Amino acid sequence: MRQAVKGASAHRRPAGPAGLCPTVLATPHAPIHATRAHAGRSPEPSSSSQSSSGASPSSPSSAPMSPIAARILSGASAGPAPRPSSSGLVLPPSARATAAAAAAAAAPAATATSAPSSLASSHAATPASHAVNGSAAAVNASGAPVASGGFRHGLDGPIFWLDRQRVHSLSDYGRDVMRSMSGWAASELPKYLKDTGKHWQPSDLLPDSASPDFLDQVHALRTAAGNLPNEYLVVLVGDMITEEALPSYMNMLNTLDEVRDETGAADTPWASWTREWTAEENRHGDLLNKYLYLTGRVDMRAIEGTIQRLIGSGLDPKLENNPYLCFVYTSFQERATRISHGNTARLATYHGDAALGKLCGLVAGDEARHEQAYSAIVSEILRRDPDGAVLAFADMMKKGIVMPAHFVDDGWHSAANADPGNGKPANLFGDYAAVADSIGVYTTHDYANIVDVLVKRWDIEHVAVRSGEAAEAQAFLMKHSERIRRLADITTERRLRDRKRGKNKSAAFSWIFKREVSLM
């Protein structure tokens, strides 16, 4: 769980106005903003824009607008675009439903050939319909939604702003895609889970407190852990703290439109997956926490305070309540976590702690299964909505994958390690990530390799996209790992050059009783 690496391009969407609630304000300008936010749809005027007789004014623009043009006007695509003003943002949900229904009624009948090419049926299909936000959504023979009233994809949604961030960016078409995947999720996602009775538990890998020789087992553990370098302990503690912030990650998944657990115990395949995934992940933090406690080499009170602060701070990976974006993020993140735990396992064994090597390896194995699950979800979204999935992948790469512990704070590190020259406070996450990079647990080269793996796994090069913006995103993705790798090479060369010159930078970590370790 490491430092973020930013892409070279601008975000898909610019930041929005600060502190604005995602609702439309009653002003005469609201219909104009709504038109820009809903490509190709006729917005329903707000009540304040109606005459006293109840008649609605004419549409601000009668000319048809392509989805791409509308996204550019709304600020939804990459590149410079005007921010929405505080006078109005988007239509409220009820008005969106009415507008969508009107657009669907005016559009020609949808057929299977209207769907993305990867889903188009080779034979005539009789589309079924189901209610979506008050409108009828057709599906083809494969169960995927058929776009009506022009080409659509999952990221072609309305523009909501909240605290300078876009939220709820999933379009109605994207909602249909996720709903169409319920059957797939019910049959496929359980394959990536293990039965609780057959799973390892933390107690299987730690000294048995009920055993007569418990103290001897603890002594053996502490003896082996005594060989671990301080740099390694910093990284292992950071990994454990990240795992212990699991409540934030479950909360993140339950902000996603169409797949969230609406009740806390909803009987849907997506909700079930979230709970089961969380249950499996919960064992990781428990195991590492107890192990580190028994070593006697770390300051547990400082660590526990850090965990509490991190959970209280949450995380902000810029997912916009959008499952397309989130499942790209989790695919990347699970692989990064697998690499990290795999390397801590390797280093533990190298330093003579075979028991720690085994338990870190088991955690890495869980992360590998979870990576496969989230990657499979994205593969299925790609099959049903190629343009939307490619745009989502590129969007997350341009933002840079922000690691889950990026808000980590122990209440001490920043001031204690401030720059003596200018007083600039240190960043605990940045220093922890630097140590992880320096000992080879998780590096910028690993980041670039993950991009490569996902591009190849999802066969991005051969995805049949239909829109110009998706084609641009596709081209960006094919070269993105090269950009990251060049940055990694420059960083590595600089570090080696500084080492040869005798330069060094270190930081003290409260987690290991304020001992200093090298950041290079």
The CATH number of the domain where 344 resides is what?
1.10.620.20
- Specify the long-range contacts of residues 423-432, CB closer than 8 Å, at least 24 apart: 426/507, 429/3, 429/403, 429/405, 430/3, 431/507, 431/509, 431/519, 432/234, 432/235, 432/238, 432/405, 432/408, 432/509
Please tell me the predicted confidence (pLDDT) of residue 25.
29
Paired strand residues for 10: none
Same-domain pairing of 164 and 200: no
Do 447 and 428 lie in one domain? The reply is yes
CB 395 within 8 Å of CB 155: yes
- Per this entry, what is the length of the chain? 520
Contact 390, 477 (CB under 8 A): yes
Whether residues 146 and 210 share a domain: the answer is no
Does residue 367 contact residue 337 with C-beta atoms inside 8 Å? Answer: yes
Work out whether the CA dihedral 31, 36, 37, 41 comes out positive or negative.
positive
Question: Do 102 and 207 belong together in one domain?
Answer: no
Q: What is the CA radius of gyration of the chain?
A: 25
At 181 the pLDDT is: 98
DSSP string computed for 448-510: HHHHHHHHHHTTGGG----SHHHHHHHHHHHHHHHHHHHHHHHHHHHHHHHHHTT---EEEEG
What residues act catalytically?
Answer: 200, 243, 281, 284, 334, 337, 366-367, 370
Distance CA 443, CA 336 (A): 10
pLDDT score, position 165? 85
Q: Tell which of 160, 176, 192 closes a domain.
A: 176
In a domain, residue 7? The reply is: no
Residues 279 and 193: beta-carbon distance below 8 Å = no
CA distances from 263 to 69, 167, 268, 272, 275 (A): 38, 21, 10, 11, 12
| 144 located within any domain | yes
Domain tally, the chain: 2
Nearest-angstrom CA–CA distance, 453 and 457: 6
Among 176, 197, 231, identify where a domain stops: 176
Q: 161 and 37: one domain? A: yes
Token pair recorded at residue 431? 């220093």
| One domain, residues 150 and 224 | no
> Are both 218 and 342 inside the same structural domain?
yes
Do 234 and 318 lie in one domain? The reply is yes
Nearest residue to 187 via CA among 377, 398, 356, 42: 377
β-pairing, 506-509 vs 160-162, is unpaired
**518, β-bridge pairs:** 506
Other CB atoms within 10 A of residue 233 CB: 21
In a domain, residue 190? The reply is yes
Residue 399, in any domain of the structure: yes
Geometric angle at alpha carbon 345, from 343 and 348, rounded to 5°: 110
In DSSP terms, 132 is beta-bridged to 135
**Burial class, 27, CB count within 10 angstroms (exposed 0-12 / middle 13-18 / buried 19+):** middle
The span from the CA of 91 to the CA of 67, in Å, is: 17
pLDDT of residue 501: 87
Of 120, 150, 176, the domain-final residue: 176
Is residue 325 situated within a structural domain?
Answer: yes
Structure tokens at 344: 């801590």
Judgement on whether residues 244 and 358 belong to the same structural domain of the protein: yes
Q: Is the domain of 65 the same as that of 146?
A: yes
Domain assignment of residue 195, given as a range: 183-518
360 and 327 belong to one structural domain: yes
Write out the chain's pLDDT in tens, 520 residues.
444 444 443 344 443 333 333 332 233 333 323 333 333 333 333 333 343 333 333 333 334 433 433 343 333 433 333 333 332 233 333 333 443 444 444 444 333 333 333 333 333 332 333 333 333 345 554 555 655 445 688 888 887 888 888 999 999 999 999 999 999 999 999 999 999 999 999 999 999 999 999 999 999 999 999 999 999 999 999 999 999 999 999 999 999 999 999 999 999 999 999 999 999 999 999 999 999 999 999 999 999 999 999 999 999 999 999 999 999 999 999 999 999 999 999 999 999 999 999 999 999 999 999 999 999 999 999 999 999 999 999 999 999 999 999 999 999 999 999 999 999 999 999 999 999 999 999 999 999 999 999 999 999 999 999 999 999 999 999 999 999 999 999 988 988 888 888 888 999 999 999 999 999 8
Q: Cβ atoms within 10 A of the Cβ of 464, count?
A: 11
**Residue 119 is assigned to a structural domain of this protein:** no
Contact 140, 123 (CB under 8 A): no
Q: Report the pLDDT value the prediction gives residue 31, as an integer from 0 to 100.
A: 31
Q: Quick one: which of 170, 135, 136, 141 has its CA closest to 153?
A: 170
Q: At what angle do helices 354-384 and 444-457 cross, to 10 degrees?
A: 40
Residue with token string 């009740």: 263
**What is the token pair recorded at 76?**
């939804």
Q: Do 421 and 315 reside in the same domain of the chain?
A: yes
Amino acid letter, residue 72: I
d(CA 419, CA 369): 42
Q: How high is the pLDDT of residue 151?
A: 64
Residues 6+ apart with CB under 8 A from 350: none
User: Could you tell me which residues are beta bridge partners of residue 145?
Assistant: 139
Could you tell me the two tokens for 6?
Answer: 């930013």
Residues 51, 55, 56: CA angle, nearest 5 degrees:
90
Per DSSP, 124 falls in state -
The answer to whether position 1 is within a domain reads no
Query: What pLDDT is recorded for position 144?
Result: 58
Tell me, yes or no, whether 125 lies in a domain: no
Looking at the whole model, is its pTM more than 0.95?
no
